[in-house]
Amino acid sequence: MEEMQPLVTNEAIVFGLLMALLGGIFWASNHPTFSGFFKVVPALLLCYFLPSLLTNFHIVPKDTHLYFVASRYLLPASLVLLTLSIDLKAVFGLGPKALIMFFTATATIILGGPVAILAVSSFAPDLVGGVGPEAVWRGMATIAGSWIGGGANQAAMFEIFQPSGALYSAMITVDVVVAEIWMAIILLGAAKSDKVDGWLKADNRSVKVLQNEMEDFLAKTARIPTFPEVMQILGLAFGAVALAHIAGDTLAPWFAENLPYTANFSLTSDFFWVVIVATTVGLLLSLTPARNLEGAGASRWGSVFIYILVGTIGMKMDIKEAVDQPGLLLVGVIWMIFHVVILLGVARWIKAPFFFVAVGSKANIGGAASAPVAAAAFHPSLAPVGVLLAVLGYALGTYGGWLTGLLMYLVSGDPSSLMLEPA
| Per-residue model confidence as pLDDT tens digits over 385-400 | 787 787 777 777 778 8
pLDDT grade for 251, boundaries at 50, 70 and 90: very high
Residue 169: what pLDDT?
Answer: 72
* Distance in angstroms (rounded) separating the CA atoms of residues 331 and 322: 12
Evaluate the CA torsion angle 105, 110, 113, 116 in order and state its sign: negative
Residue 385: what pLDDT?
Answer: 78
* Distance in angstroms (rounded) separating the CA atoms of residues 90 and 166: 47
Residue 215: what pLDDT?
Answer: 74
Residue 43: what pLDDT?
Answer: 79
| Phi-psi domain of 3 (left: phi exceeds 0; alpha: psi -120 through 50; beta: other) | beta
* Distance in angstroms (rounded) separating the CA atoms of residues 23 and 338: 37
Q: What is the 3-state secondary structure (H, E, C) of 176-238?
A: HHHHHHHHHHHHHHHHCHHHHHHHHCCCCHHHHHHHHHHHHHHHHHCCCCCHHHHHHHHHHHH
| Per-residue model confidence as pLDDT tens digits over 141-185 | 989 988 987 766 776 788 778 788 778 777 877 887 888 889 889
* Distance in angstroms (rounded) separating the CA atoms of residues 274 and 262: 16
Residue 263: what pLDDT?
Answer: 72
Residue 322: what pLDDT?
Answer: 60
| Per-residue model confidence as pLDDT tens digits over 301-346 | 988 998 898 788 778 766 665 666 677 888 999 999 999 999 999 9
Residues 6+ apart with CB under 8 A from 202: 347, 351, 352, 353, 354
Given a contact cutoff of 8 angstroms between Cβ atoms, the answer to whether 247 and 271 are in contact is no
* Distance in angstroms (rounded) separating the CA atoms of residues 91 and 213: 11
Residue 110: what pLDDT?
Answer: 94
* Distance in angstroms (rounded) separating the CA atoms of residues 244 and 367: 17
Residue 119: what pLDDT?
Answer: 92
pLDDT grade for 423, boundaries at 50, 70 and 90: very low
Which of 300, 306, 248, 304 is closest to 278 using CA atoms? 248
* Distance in angstroms (rounded) separating the CA atoms of residues 144 and 68: 22
Mean residue pLDDT of the chain comes to 84
Residue 397: what pLDDT?
Answer: 78
CATH class of 11-412: mainly alpha
pTM, two decimals, is 0.74
Asked if residue 135 has pLDDT above 90, the reply is no
| Per-residue model confidence as pLDDT tens digits over 17-27 | 999 999 999 99
Residue 1: what pLDDT?
Answer: 45
Residues 6+ apart with CB under 8 A from 396: 106, 148, 149
Which of 8-22, 219-233, 252-266, 352-366 tops mean pLDDT?
A: 8-22
Asked if residue 421 has pLDDT above 60, the reply is no
CA Rg, the chain, in Å? 21
Residue 320: what pLDDT?
Answer: 65
